[in-house]
Amino acid sequence: MTDCLFCGIVEGSVPSQTVASDERTVAFMDINPATPGHALVVPRAHSADLLDIDAGDLAATSVASQRLARRMKEELGADGVNLINACGEVAFQTVFHFHIHVVPRYRGDPLKLPWVPTEGDPDEIAATAAKLRDAGGGDDG
C-alpha cells in the first residue's frame, strides 16, 4: 500500500490505461488530456521531482518519452510533441512522483500552454491508448 497515486499506478493497485513499460519506467494515459494521446512517463521507483530523481531513472524516463513520442507520430499522426515536466508547486506540479508529460501536437490544435486540465472521455482515452500500446503496456483500467 502507498499514498502516492503514481506508485499505485505502477503497482497496479490504481487503474490506468498503461501503454508501455520497461524495467525502470511505466507510461500511461493522462486522465485530463491536454490533447488526444497525452500520456505520462514515470520511473517505477518513487522520486518526488526533478531534483530528487536518480540520474539513471531520469535517463530511462527520457528515453521512454522519446519512444512514446515516435509512436505518437506513427500511430496517432501527431505533427509534433511537447515534453513537459513540472518541478514544484510553483511550477504547477500537482502529483509528487516524477513524471514527464508527453503531449502530442497536431497542426492547428487549440492547445495553449500551460493548459487548464479538463477531464477526458474515458472511452476516447482507451481507444487512443490502444493505438499507442506496445508489448510493455497492458489495459488494466
Binding site for ligand 5GP (CB under 6 A): 5, 16, 28-32, 86, 92-95, 117
Q: Which is nearer to Zn ion, 52 or 124 (CB)?
A: 52
- b/e sequence 2-14, b meaning 16+ C-beta within 10 Å: eeeebbbbbeeeb
Quote the CA–CA distance of 40 and 31 in Å, as a whole number: 10
List residues near Zn ion by CB under 5 A: 4, 6-7, 46, 97
The SS3 call for residue 102 is: strand
User: Looking at 38, 97, 99, 101, which residue is catalytic?
Assistant: 99
Q: Which is nearer to ligand 5GP, 10 or 28 (CB)?
A: 28
Altogether, the residues listed in the chain come to a count of 141
Residue 99 is a catalytic residue: yes
28 binds, among ligand 5GP, Zn ion, none (CB under 5 to 8 A by kind): ligand 5GP
46 binds, among Zn ion, ligand 5GP, none (CB under 5 to 8 A by kind): Zn ion
Q: CB-side exposure of 72: number of CA atoms within 13 Å? A: 26
**Where in the sequence numbering do the catalytic residues fall?**
99
